[in-house]
Structure 1
């Protein structure tokens, strides 16, 4: 007798642990290689599907015998897909896979942070040429750095959020922008390590080839409703999807009733790369709140601290039936923002647990942390 089974794709999983944390039955577990689903415990509640940033958990099979946990732990890739629930509606995803990627060409790289900053962030532009690679604002792509790992296996997939609108970095082109932070750090023994993917991308030269997988992501998307009000809260490289949102809005609905509000945190002012002319237009972006957690001469402040200072205006936003909340950044940000919104709601007689559930059920609460 056929039985449906939920499985996680090891090729596109970035091991953010979101699915395991969100699973209410404990069906999801992991080892040093794979995240897996216990078919005897999974109840298909879908709690893990919406928060997954790459769609790796959104795989469904009809089988005579479910795959065991031990079998899944040994996989390098999923078996051929057989079926998926017809009730799940989503934009096109995973059009290009690792075994048959889209080939893009590196166009340009521009340093956005100051030269003296230890943390280097670049705006990388790639061009798909004649290859049709449709995507939406808020989605991600995967790239595979060249070379092999120490065990002679291919290097793992690296995920980057798209920083452009769907019609290209330049309107009407096949170009796409990414924010890439060059990773250089120290190990406990004092030796220095260099992030494989970030340094490779930052050092590419015009004309170099990039194999691209994806796109990924079904929930961190810009609504088509021009009346939708956007509350964007982020840190670090979480700025990328917001740049795409703002580009899209400015190109297609600059006079829309829905407005854009941003709360964004970095360590120093120099680590906040420009979002072009979008941030300098107070009519288009009426609320721009930047906080700095490690800058000399600045008071240490996090985005949730500034949100509490703007409790009145945020309470007004929370009462807007067209509000969409986007949270993108480092792990822990969603919990910190949730606490701040709960306090603001209590202060202004808003039932945050009920409102949060409404936002989730209507697809207006979007969180992507890593």
Structure 2
């Protein structure tokens, strides 16, 4: 709490200058652990090119949304403890050989026509039978079979997707979960066309699914991305593309839902990297949260195809974080937790940048990073 008070009182007043959270865009994003490649610009896959916004559908008007607080009995904070021995963290409740059958409730495109790919907001009904905590992932088993390396026909393997809603779902009743999935396609430059033989099996199945379609699911899995137990802890979130999924779940828990025994008192700061404004994900939701909680929530975008870094090159996520290096390091020194999610290619640039900042400040980088990990302040999920 002292770190937040100092931050907001003036030591880092300038940190909130220049926020581009409110920039208007014609678009808004988890996390399919499958390769996503380039597609034909402007391709209509059947959902149309119009972006569907989510704020007006999933944020209660006039205040926080009531939620069934019995789901909080599973966590006094975000980890199993002696205070909640009867209901530990849900983990691998459903496995590959005995998956859960969920049903698609809705699939909507949530990026604009000039985004570099198609990303869908997918709500799945589980009827309260597949509970999870914010920061966990579901596995999805796409229908059909493949021929393995031994020439045997076998079912497709599990693909992991970070969950983009809180445990209460977008309808606040605990009966649904949301995935944010980018359609994986392969653009053959020689043929100047997409090669359907190389498209992502699972992402295309999910993005093409119709309401009522069955989805074979495993999990939930994961403990790395769970929130801190203390709701006063500052949280710094760094995401690229559909890596926004767990961050959206945190933000909704912080600012959208009325969770009386876990009221967020900290500072939430999101750094989001996408190609252009049409590829922003959930920007309408975040903008609404900023309006309601301007002193607690901030968003900064790194738009690689629209903005330049201080050296005149493309603005990548590490460049945007570096702009606020003093404030970020101050928050981490005060106990903030830092979360990273997105393609694994994001991390080398971020780590190189942090090492450079440590050198500037006369800090032993290896010791500094190891200290964050030992204290549980460092959370990474890349794919």
Per the normalisation by structure 1, the TM-score is: 0.70
Task: Return the alpha-carbon distance in structure 2 between the equivalents of residues 362 and 116 of structure 1.
Answer: 42
Which of 286-295 and 162-171 deviates more?
286-295
Per-residue CA shift, 1:173-212, capped at 9, x if unaligned? Answer: 3110000111111358746132111111111111111111
Displacement of 1:286 in angstroms is: 3.4
Query: Which of residues 298, 303, 314 is equivalent to 1:300?
Result: 314
Query: Which of residues 340, 343, 346 is equivalent to 1:333?
Result: 346
Displacement of 1:341 in angstroms is: 2.0
Aligned to 1:311: 325
Contact conserved, 1:279 with 1:285, CA < 8 A, in 2? no
Aligned to 1:260: 268
Equivalent runs, 1:213-362 vs 2, <5 Å: 213-250=218-255, 251=257, 252=259, 256-282=264-290, 283=294, 286-295=297-306, 300-321=314-335, 323-362=336-375
Task: Return the alpha-carbon distance in structure 1 between the equivalents of residues 102 and 204 of structure 2.
Answer: 18
Aligned to 1:176: 177
Task: Return the alpha-carbon distance in structure 1 between the equivalents of residues 352 and 138 of structure 2.
Answer: 31
Aligned to 2:115: 117
Contact conserved, 2:162 with 2:245, CA < 8 A, in 1? yes
Contact conserved, 1:142 with 1:215, CA < 8 A, in 2? yes
Contact conserved, 2:138 with 2:217, CA < 8 A, in 1? yes
Contact conserved, 1:260 with 1:284, CA < 8 A, in 2? no
RMSD over aligned Cα, in angstroms?
A: 2.5
Displacement of 1:216 in angstroms is: 0.8
Unaligned runs of 5+ in 2: 1-32, 36-87
Contact conserved, 2:308 with 2:314, CA < 8 A, in 1? no
Task: Return the alpha-carbon distance in structure 2 between the equivalents of residues 284 and 237 of structure 1.
Answer: 26
Specify the SS of the correspondent of 1:231: strand
Contact conserved, 2:144 with 2:156, CA < 8 A, in 1? yes
Higher fraction of helix? 2
Equivalent runs, 1:100-111 vs 2, <5 Å: 100-111=98-109
Task: Return the alpha-carbon distance in structure 1 between the equivalents of residues 321 and 254 of structure 2.
Answer: 24
Task: Return the alpha-carbon distance in structure 2 between the equivalents of residues 212 and 255 of structure 1.
Answer: 31
Task: Return the alpha-carbon distance in structure 2 between the equivalents of residues 120 and 309 of structure 1.
Answer: 30
Unaligned runs of 5+ in 1: 1-13, 17-89
- CA gap of 1:315–1:363, structure 2 versus 1, over 3 A, is closer
Instruction: Please tell me whether residue 148 in structure 1 is matched to residue 145 in structure 2.
Output: yes
- CA gap of 1:257–1:173, structure 2 versus 1, over 3 A, is closer
Query: Which of residues 169, 186, 195 is equivalent to 2:200?
Result: 195
Displacement of 1:314 in angstroms is: 1.7
Per-residue CA shift, 1:304-346, capped at 9, x if unaligned? Answer: 111222222223212212x101111111322221222222233
Equivalent runs, 1:74-113 vs 2, <5 Å: 91-113=89-111
Per the normalisation by structure 2, the TM-score is: 0.68
Specify the SS of the correspondent of 2:168: coil
- CA gap of 1:217–1:349, structure 2 versus 1, over 3 A, is same
Task: Return the alpha-carbon distance in structure 2 between the equivalents of residues 337 and 137 of structure 1.
Answer: 24
Per-residue CA shift, 1:152-173, capped at 9, x if unaligned? Answer: 2111111111001112222123
Displacement of 1:101 in angstroms is: 1.1
Task: Return the alpha-carbon distance in structure 2 between the equivalents of residues 159 and 98 of structure 1.
Answer: 12
Contact conserved, 2:276 with 2:303, CA < 8 A, in 1? yes
Displacement of 1:358 in angstroms is: 1.8
Aligned to 1:369: 382
Displacement of 1:237 in angstroms is: 1.0
Task: Return the alpha-carbon distance in structure 2 between the equivalents of residues 187 and 154 of structure 1.
Answer: 27
Displacement of 1:365 in angstroms is: 0.5
Task: Return the alpha-carbon distance in structure 2 between the equivalents of residues 337 and 229 of structure 1.
Answer: 20
Aligned length: 282
Moved over 6 A (4+): 296-299
Displacement of 1:116 in angstroms is: 4.4
